[in-house]
Structure 1
Amino acid sequence: MQRTLRPDAVLIQAVIAGALSFAHLHDLAAAAGQSGWKAWAYPISVDLLLVAAWRRLRAGRDGASWTWFTIALAASLGANIATAGLLDLGHVPAWLRILVAGWPALAFLGGTLLVHTPTPATAAEAPSAEPELAVPEVELHRTDTAPVPAPTSAPAELDPAPAKPPTPAAPVPTVPAALVEHARSIAEKHRKTTGEPITAEALTARLGLPAPTCQAIAAQLELT
């Protein structure tokens, strides 16, 4: 699929404005005593500082970006106005010669600060009020279960149904001491905040652990 090139009015306007501003800066630098290649370097320096400040503004707004963007824009706009007949380019005042001669150092300082100063963060996450504690893994072990009695041989007519093995006991979780202390701190904080002891259901919801583990912790803390 071929794409047709369509003229962009904004792009054309930007090229025209850039070319005219470039020429005006060159003429002003040449009138201020900067001849040859030096006069052509001044508009490049102004445009580079303007672009660097604009890119910094798009990355994150701060006072330094606006300051250097305003300085570069004032230099470009000032050259356009000065060469419009308001200034005699044959007799440039001394203060303007000083500004033109000091511009390279000023532009270098601005560009260095824009590049090497970290961009301010646009969004910062608020630190959590309560540090998260690493919950140790809970190891489960089974208690001794009753042995299943061996089936006794008996006539089919006397014992038609086979004997059911007894149900094994539920596993009892082993709760580490660090987890118990963590639950105890949650219970103390709840009592200080509400004035009432925490319930087993509330502690289970706060810990977010399996029900057997929370029940074992509540039993150690003597919670109802």
Structure 2
Amino acid sequence: MRAQLARVDAVIVQAVIAGALSFSHLHDLADAAGQGGWKAWAYPVSVDLLLVAAWRRMRAQQRAGQPAGGPRLWFLIALAASLGANVATAGLLDLDDVPASLRVVVAGWPAVAFFGGTLLAHTPRIVDSLPVVAIPETDGEPAPAPTVVDAPDRDALPAPVAEPVPDTESPTASVPVAAPAAPAVTLPPALIDRAQALAEQHHATTGLVADPDDVRARLGLPPSMTASVAAHL
């Protein structure tokens, strides 16, 4: 337990040191690019918040099995801004004479960060865990073999009684009724939303209607629940 706490403390100390250095470099670069006062302190906060938000959103979508291209793009943009400031303040750039192009990049960063943060915040929430549908399972034991009974003597059996033949020409003749189909298993609301989201994603990507059996397989459900999934698409 003590060794585990020591490892956690070391990671926290290292993260604090790295964050403080990166924060200082971003502040110095923004100040050298003409963003003085409180604005120079706001730049590192904006970059670090976008970096953390994009990382969390990317991990959430990966755990849910969905593409994370958008969050990954904003994570790389924030990481490039942080690394760029660290490298620029390492003596490779004269902070007393910052190029005009860098001033333009620093001045335009708030709009870029606001756009990226808005997209990440308004992305539909991902259902990380879906409820498990209880499927009855057999115990795997073979059914007992039927008992064989000796056939009785044909002479001891009563004579068969002829059954009346139904009148098929009569308008009142009985019409066989098909047995009702077995009812579909009711899906939980969260599972229904997940199935509909997969179907909409397939339609938006390919322009075709999603196959209920394919949606059922992606949800990890047994083949017997294809009809239940199809009823909600």
**What TM-score do the two structures reach when normalised by structure 1?**
0.52
Give, as a single letter, the amino acid of the residue that structure 2 aligns with 1:76: S
Identity across aligned pairs (percent)? 70
1:10 equivalenced with 2:11 (yes/no): yes
Match status 1:54 vs 2:19: no
Alignment map for 1:17-28 (pairs within 5 Å): 17-28=18-29
- What is the CA distance between 1:121 and its match in structure 2? 6.2
Structure 2 residue aligned with 1:42: 43
CA, structure 1 residues 121+31, in 2 after alignment: closer, same or farther (shift >3 Å)? same
Letter of the structure 1 residue corresponding to residue 13 of structure 2: I
What whole-Å deviation, never above 9, does each CA across 1:100-134 have from its counterpart, x for those lacking one? 0000010000000001012566799xxxxxxxxxx
Aligned pairs for 1:50-129 within 5 A: 50-61=51-62, 62-119=68-125
Q: 1:182 to 1:40 in 2, by over 3 A?
A: farther
1:129-155 alpha-carbon deviations (Å, 9 max, x no partner): xxxxxxxxxxxxxxxxxxxxxxxxxxx
Total equivalences in the alignment: 129
* Match of residue 179 from structure 2: 183
CA distance in 2, matches of 1:5, 1:114: 34
- Please give the alpha-carbon distance, in whole angstroms, between the structure 1 residues aligned to 2:96 and 2:25: 15
Alignment partners' CA distance in 1, 2:181 and 2:114:
58
Contact 1:60 1:121 in 2 (8 A): no
Q: Secondary structure at the match of 1:8?
A: helix
Q: What does residue 32 of structure 1 align with? A: 33
- Aligned partner letter, 1:36: G
Structure 2: distance between partners of 1:122 and 1:181:
46
Structure with the greater alpha carbon radius of gyration = 1
> Given the superposition, is the C-alpha separation of residues 29 and 181 from structure 1 closer, same or farther in structure 2, using an over 3 Å criterion?
farther
Runs of at least 5 residues in structure 1 that lack an aligned partner in the other structure: 125-179, 187-224
Question: Hey, what does 1:173 align to over in structure 2?
Answer: none
Counterpart-to-counterpart distance in 1, 2:114 and 2:94: 29
C-alpha deviation, 1:58, in angstroms = 1.9
Distance in 1 of aligned mates of 2:94 and 2:177:
84
Q: Residue type of the partner of 1:57?
A: M
User: What displacement does 1:182 show?
Assistant: 5.2
Report deviation, 1:183. Answer: 2.2
Q: 1:181 offset after TM fit, Å?
A: 5.1
Q: What TM-score, normalized to structure 2?
A: 0.50
Task: Determine if contact 2:60/2:128 at 8 Å carries over to the other structure.
Answer: no
Find the aligned partners of 1:47 and 1:104 in 2 and give their Cα distance. Answer: 13
Alpha-carbon distance in 1 for matches of 2:36, 2:104: 15
Equivalent residue of 2:52, what SS?
helix
